[in-house]
C-alpha cells in the first residue's frame, strides 16, 4: 500500500503539471510561426482568472449544466489515478481496472455533451452531435489498443498490461494511439482548439456557454486528459515499467515533452481535415490498433 | 449588337445629358432592359430617381465585350411595375432595394423583402425561407459574431451537417450614405466616399472622383491617374494577401496564416508611404490627387514592394503546396459559370467561375487605358479557384506595379480649377476594386447638385453568390466559403 505522502505527490503532480502541456503546444506553434506566443504558464493564469469569476447561467438550463463539467473533471481525474506511472504503479489498482478506465473516459464524454445539450443552443447541439459521432470511432480504436495490451500480457490489470509495453506491434500501436490522442483532445487535424468559428468547432462548441469556475474545470480537465493520453501512449510503446525509478521518471518526462512537441508540430504544419474525412483517419487509427492486436495475438506473447 | 441597342451608349467615366437618356413607359422599359441583358449586357445598377410623387427607374447596363455602357430610364411610375427578376435574376436585389427606397412594387418578384432597413428602424429580419421536415434544423448565426468582423445575420436550413439553404440578412451598418449624398457634393462628401467600405477606399474614392470629373467634362492629370492606379493595385495586394492568410487560418494552416497577416501590413504601409494613411484616405480628390510620389519615396516604395512580393510568394507556396489545404479548398463551395452569369457576379468571385469580366480590361478608364495587367481567371468556381485567382492577381498586380514605378508619367497631380458639375447630366464611373466592380452613377439637377447618387459595391452583386455556394455543402465549410468571397457588409448596407 502506498504511503500518504506518495498519494499527495501523485495528485499534486496531475493537478499542477497537466496545464503545462497546452502551454508547451502553443509555444511550439508560436515558435514555428516565428511569433513570440503566449507564456507557457498562460493556462495557469487563465484558470486562476476563471476561478475568481462569476458564472452566467441560462434560466433554461438544468443543474446538469454545472454538474456536467464537475462530473467530467472527476471522471478524468479518476482515470488518471488508475493509470500506473512506470515502476511507481497506480494510485489504485485491481483486476479489471482497465474496464473502469474506459468507462470513466466515456462518462466524461457523456457529461460534457449532456451539459452542452442543456443550453439548447444550435451550436452546442451541433458540437455534441459531432463529438459523439467521432467518439464511436476513436473509442473503437482505444478499446482495440487496450485489448492489444491485454492480449500481449494476458492480463486485465493496467499495472501489468503497461509494464512491458506492446512488444512487436509497438510502432503500430503508437501511431494508432497518437491519432486517438489528437482526436480525443480536439487537436488539429480533427478539431481546431484556437478557432473562433462556431460552425466548425467540435469540443469548443460544446463549452461556448460555460463560464467562470465550471469553464476552469473543463479547461483543467482537458489538460489532464491530454497528459493522460500522452502517458498512455508512452507506456504502451516504451517499457517504462521495467526501468529503475529514476530512469523511468526521466523517460516519462522526456517522452511527454516529445509527444507534446509533436502535437505542436502537427498543428503548425497541417491543415484541418474536412469533417467528412475525419472518419477515414479515425478508421485508419482503428486499423493500426487492430493490426497491433493481430501481432500481439499471433506473433507476440508466446 | 450595338446597332440594335436602344439604350444610350457611353464609355466608362463619361457623362451624358439627362435629356439624351431614352425613356419608355415603365413596362416597356423593363422589356427594353431585358432585351439589353439578353443581348449580352450585365446589370451594373438599377435605381429609382424620385420625381414628384412618382419614381423614374434608371438602368445602367455594361456590354463587357464591346467595352461600352448603356443607360435607359422609365417614365415616372407609381405603385408597381412588372418585375425584371422573373426573367433576369441579377436584378433581384436591385428591385428589392427600389421597393424599399421608393415603394415601387416589382410585380411577380419571387422574394420581395427589405434589403437594409424596415420602415427606418432595425435591420430587416422579416420572414426567412424555411425548409420543413423532421430532420431539418435551423441554425442562426450573427449579427454578433465570434470574430472581429462586421455584423450580418446568416440563417441556415440544415439536414444534419448539410446546408440545404442559406439566407443572408444584412443592413446592420446602414448609415444612409446615398441619402446623405443628395444635394451634394458637400464638404463631407469625399470623406463619406472614402468610408463607403473602408477596405475599398481607393476604388470608391477614384470612382467618385472620376464621376465628378466626367460631370465637369474633364479628367484628372495623367500623373494623378497613374497615382490612383498605383494606389488601387496596392489596395488589391493588401486585401488579397490578407484573404490568403484568412483562408489559411480558417483551415488551421498556420504558416501562411501567420505570414500573411504581417505581409498585409507591409502592403498597407506602402499605401501609407504614398499618402500617409494605410487605407489611402486623403489621397484621391476630384481633379487629381493630394500627394505626389517623389523619386526618393518612389525608390523606397519599389524596394519594399519587391520584398513584400517575395514574402507573399513564399507564403503562397506553402499554402498551395500543402495537400491538406488543397483537400479542404477543392470542390468546396462551387458556383457554376451559369449561376455566376445569371446572378451577375463580379470581381474575383466571377473570374474564378471562368467568367472573363474585369473593369480594368473591359471598361478601361484613367491610367488603365494605357497600361493593363493580364486578367486572372480560373475555371472551377470553388474555394480553391477563388484562392487561386487571388494569388494570380497578387502576382500580376505586383508585376504591374513594378513596371509602373519604373516608368512614371511626369506632370501636375491636381487640376485646381475643376469646373462645377454640369446641370441635368448623368455620369457613370466604374472601377475594379479588389472585390470587383465598383459602380458610381451621379445625376445632377438643374443647379449642378446631385439629384441622385447611386453607389453599387461589388458585394451587392456577390452576397447571393455566397448563398448559392453553400447549397448542399457541409455547414462546417461555411467559414472558408465566406472568406473566399470576403464581401463587404458596410459597402452593401451603405
* pLDDT tens track for A213-269: 999 999 999 999 999 999 999 999 988 888 888 999 999 999 999 999 999 999 998
| Architecture of the domain spanning B183-456 | Orthogonal Bundle (1.10)
Name the helix (H) or strand (E) containing B195: none
C-alpha to C-alpha distance for A272 and B138, rounded to whole angstroms:
25
Nearest-by-CA chain A residue for B159: A126
Spell out which residues of chain B touch residue A277, defining contact as CB-CB under 8 Å.
327
Residue partners of A211: CB distance under 8 A and separation at least 6: A50, A53, A54, A55, A56
Q: How far apart are CA B211 and CA A229, in angstroms?
A: 65
Q: pLDDT value at position A296? A: 87
**What is the reported pLDDT for A164?**
80
Q: Which residues contact B370 (CB under 8 A, 6 or more apart)?
A: none
Average pLDDT over residues B354-369: 92
Nearest residue of B to residue A192, measured between CA atoms? B252
Spatial separation of the C-alpha atoms in residues A164 and A149, rounded to whole Å: 9
The torsion angle over the Cα atoms of residues A143, A145, A147 and A149, rounded to 10 degrees, is -150
pLDDT for position A298: 83
pLDDT greater than 50 at residue A302: no
Q: A272 and B322 in contact by Cβ < 8 A?
A: no
Query: What DSSP string runs through B95-109?
Result: HHHHHHHH--EEET-
ipTM value of the model?
A: 0.84
Average of per-residue pLDDT values in chain B:
90
Spatial CB neighbours of A59, under 8 Å, sequence gap ≥ 6: none
Please state whether the peptide bond connecting residue B143 to the residue before it is cis, i.e. omega within 30 degrees of 0.
Answer: yes
pLDDT band at A91 (very low <50, low <70, confident <90, very high): confident
Alpha helices in B164-221 (DSSP H): 177-181, 189-194, 201-215
CB contact under 8 A, B328 and A272: yes
- Strand order from edge to edge, sheet including B136-141: B136-141, B153-159, B162-169
Residues within 8 A of B (CB atoms), A 158-217 only: 188-189, 192, 194-200
Query: In sequence order, what DSSP letters do the residues of B279-297 get, joined into one string?
Result: T-TTTEETTEES----HHH
Q: What is the Cα B394 distance to its own chain's centre?
A: 18
Alpha-carbon distance of B325 to B255, in angstroms, equals 12
| Residue contact B161–A275, C-beta within 8 A | yes
A269 CB within 8 Å of a chain B CB: yes
The count of domains in chain A is 1
Count of CB atoms situated within 10 Å of the CB of A269: 16
Judged on CB neighbours under 10 Å (0-12, 13-18, 19+), B2 is exposed
Contact A72, A221 (CB under 8 A): yes
Model pTM score: 0.90
- Whole-angstrom distance between the N-terminal and C-terminal Cα of chain B? 35
From residue B361, how far is each of A195, B271, B356, B365 by CA, in Å? Answer: 39, 23, 9, 9
Query: Checking DSSP bridges between strand B42-51 and strand B437-444, what pairing results, if any?
Result: unpaired
Can you read off the three cell numbers belonging to residue B83? 418585375
The answer to whether A274 contacts chain B (CB < 8 Å) is yes
**Contact flag B255-A196 (C-beta cutoff 8 Å):** no
* Domain ranges within chain B, ordered by starting residue: 2-107, 136-169, 183-456
Please, which residues have CB within 8 angstroms of residue A100's CB and are 6 or more apart in sequence?
A: A78, A82
Q: B476 and A277 in contact by Cβ < 8 A?
A: no
Give the pLDDT score at B3. 44
- Residue B408: in which H helix or E strand, if any? none
Distance CA B353, CA B379 (A): 5
- Tell me what pLDDT residue B15 has: 92
Residue A140 is part of which domain span?
Answer: 4-300
Query: Contact at 8 Å (CB) between A65 and A57?
Result: yes
Band of residue B444 on the pLDDT scale cut at 50, 70, 90: very high
Per-residue confidence (pLDDT) for residue A14, from 0 to 100: 93
Report the chain B residue with the minimal C-alpha distance to residue A201.
B476
Percent of chain B surpassing pLDDT 90: 69
- In the DSSP assignment, the letter for residue B119 is T
From chain A, the residues in CB contact with B324 under 8 A are 189, 270-273
Residue-wise pLDDT tens digits, B214-267: 999 888 999 999 999 999 999 999 999 999 999 999 898 988 998 999 999 999
Q: pLDDT class for B1, splitting at 50, 70, 90?
A: very low
Model pLDDT for residues A26-85, shown as the tens digit of each residue: 999 999 888 899 999 999 999 999 999 999 988 888 888 999 999 999 999 999 999 998
Amino acid at each position: 500500500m502506498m504511503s500518504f505522502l506518495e498519494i499527495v505527490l501523485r495528485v499534486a503532480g496531475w493537478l499542477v503539471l497537466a496545464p503545462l502541456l497546452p502551454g508547451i503546444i502553443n509555444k511550439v506553434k508560436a515558435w514555428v510561426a516565428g511569433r513570440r506566443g503566449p507564456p507557457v504558464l498562460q493556462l495557469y493564469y487563465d484558470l486562476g482568472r476563471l476561478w475568481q469569476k462569476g458564472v452566467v447561467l441560462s434560466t433554461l438550463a438544468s443543474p446538469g449544466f454545472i454538474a456536467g463539467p464537475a462530473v467530467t473533471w472527476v471522471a478524468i481525474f479518476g482515470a488518471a489515478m488508475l493509470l500506473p506511472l512506470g515502476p511507481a504503479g497506480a494510485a489504485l489498482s485491481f483486476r479489471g481496472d482497465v474496464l473502469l478506465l474506459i468507462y470513466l473516459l466515456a462518462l466524461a464524454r457523456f457529461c460534457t455533451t449532456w451539459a452542452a445539450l442543456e443550453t439548447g443552443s444550435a451550436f452546442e447541439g451541433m458540437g455534441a452531435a459531432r463529438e459523439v459521432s467521432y467518439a464511436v470511432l476513436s473509442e473503437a480504436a482505444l478499446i482495440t489498443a487496450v485489448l492489444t495490451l491485454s492480449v500481449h500480457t494476458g492480463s486485465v490489470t493496467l499495472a501489468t498490461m503497461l509494464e512491458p509495453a506492446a512488444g512487436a506491434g509497438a510502432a503500430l500501436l503508437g501511431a494508432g494511439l497518437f491519432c486517438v490522442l489528437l482526436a480525443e483532445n480536439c487537436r488539429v487535424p480533427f478539431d481546431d482548439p484556437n478557432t473562433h468559428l462556431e460552425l466548425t468547432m467540435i469540443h469548443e462548441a460544446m463549452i461556448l456557454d460555460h463560464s467562470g469556475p465550471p469553464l476552469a474545470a473543463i479547461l483543467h480537465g482537458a489538460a489532464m486528459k491530454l497528459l493522460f493520453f500522452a502517458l498512455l501512449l508512452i507506456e504502451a510503446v516504451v517499457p517504462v515499467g521495467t526501468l529503475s525509478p529514476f530512469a523511468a521518471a526521466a523517460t516519462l518526462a522526456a517522452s511527454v515533452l516529445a509527444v507534446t512537441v509533436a502535437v505542436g508540430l502537427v498543428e503548425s504544419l497541417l491543415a484541418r481535415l474536412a469533417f467528412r474525412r475525419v472518419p477515414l483517419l479515425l478508421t485508419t487509427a482503428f486499423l493500426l490498433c487492430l493490426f497491433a492486436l493481430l501481432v500481439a495475438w499471433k506473433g507476440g506473447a508466446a | 449588337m450595338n446597332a440594335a441597342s436602344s439604350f444610350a451608349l457611353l464609355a466608362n467615366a463619361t457623362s451624358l445629358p439627362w435629356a439624351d437618356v431614352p425613356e419608355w413607359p415603365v413596362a416597356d422599359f423593363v422589356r427594353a432592359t431585358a432585351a439589353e441583358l439578353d443581348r449580352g449586357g450585365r446589370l451594373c445598377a438599377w435605381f429609382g430617381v424620385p420625381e414628384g410623387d412618382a419614381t423614374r427607374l434608371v438602368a445602367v447596363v455594361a456590354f463587357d465585350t464591346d467595352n461600352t455602357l448603356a443607360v435607359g430610364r422609365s417614365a415616372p411610375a407609381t405603385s408597381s411595375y412588372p418585375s425584371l427578376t422573373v426573367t433576369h435574376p441579377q436584378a433581384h436585389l436591385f428591385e428589392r432595394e427600389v421597393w424599399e427606397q421608393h415603394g415601387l412594387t416589382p410585380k411577380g418578384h419571387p422574394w420581395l423583402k427589405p434589403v437594409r432597413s424596415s420602415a427606418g428602424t432595425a435591420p430587416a429580419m422579416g420572414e426567412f425561407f424555411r425548409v420543413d421536415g423532421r430532420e431539418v434544423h435551423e441554425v442562426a448565426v450573427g449579427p454578433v459574431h465570434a470574430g472581429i468582423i462586421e455584423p450580418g445575420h446568416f440563417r441556415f436550413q440544415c439536414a444534419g451537417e448539410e446546408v440545404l439553404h442559406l439566407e443572408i440578412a444584412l443592413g446592420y451598418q446602414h448609415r444612409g450614405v446615398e441619402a446623405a449624398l443628395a444635394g451634394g457634393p458637400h464638404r463631407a462628401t469625399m470623406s463619406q466616399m472614402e468610408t463607403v467600405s473602408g477596405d475599398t477606399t481607393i476604388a470608391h474614392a477614384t470612382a467618385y472622383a472620376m464621376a465628378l470629373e466626367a460631370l465637369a467634362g474633364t479628367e484628372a492629370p495623367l500623373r494623378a491617374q497613374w497615382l490612383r492606379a498605383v494606389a488601387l493595385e496596392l489596395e488589391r495586394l493588401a486585401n488579397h494577401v490578407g484573404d490568403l492568410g484568412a483562408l489559411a487560418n480558417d483551415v488551421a494552416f498556420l504558416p501562411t496564416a501567420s505570414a500573411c497577416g504581417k505581409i498585409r501590413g507591409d502592403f498597407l504601409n506602402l499605401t501609407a508611404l504614398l499618402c500617409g494613411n494605410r487605407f489611402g484616405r486623403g489621397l484621391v480628390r476630384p481633379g487629381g490627387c493630394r500627394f505626389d510620389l517623389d523619386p526618393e519615396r518612389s525608390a523606397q516604395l519599389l524596394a519594399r514592394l519587391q520584398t513584400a512580393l517575395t514574402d507573399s510568394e513564399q507564403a503562397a507556396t506553402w499554402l498551395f503546396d500543402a495537400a491538406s489545404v488543397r483537400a479542404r479548398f477543392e470542390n468546396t463551395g462551387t458556383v457554376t459559370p451559369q449561376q455566376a452569369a445569371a446572378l451577375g457576379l463580379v470581381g474575383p468571385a466571377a473570374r474564378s467561375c471562368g467568367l472573363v469580366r474585369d473593369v480594368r480590361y473591359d471598361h478601361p478608364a484613367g491610367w488603365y487605358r494605357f497600361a493593363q495587367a493580364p486578367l486572372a481567371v480560373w475555371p472551377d468556381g470553388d474555394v480553391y479557384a477563388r484562392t487561386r485567382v487571388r494569388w494570380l492577381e497578387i502576382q500580376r498586380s505586383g508585376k504591374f506595379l513594378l513596371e509602373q514605378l519604373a516608368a512614371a508619367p511626369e506632370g501636375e497631380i491636381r487640376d485646381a480649377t475643376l469646373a462645377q458639375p454640369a446641370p441635368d447630366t448623368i455620369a457613370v464611373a466604374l472601377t475594379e476594386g479588389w472585390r470587383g466592380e465598383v459602380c458610381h452613377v451621379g445625376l445632377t439637377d438643374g443647379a449642378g447638385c446631385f439629384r441622385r447618387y447611386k453607389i453599387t459595391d461589388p458585394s451587392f452583386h456577390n452576397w447571393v453568390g455566397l448563398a448559392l455556394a453553400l447549397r448542399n455543402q457541409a455547414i462546417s465549410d461555411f467559414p472558408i466559403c465566406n472568406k473566399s468571397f470576403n464581401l463587404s457588409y458596410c459597402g452593401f448596407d451603405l
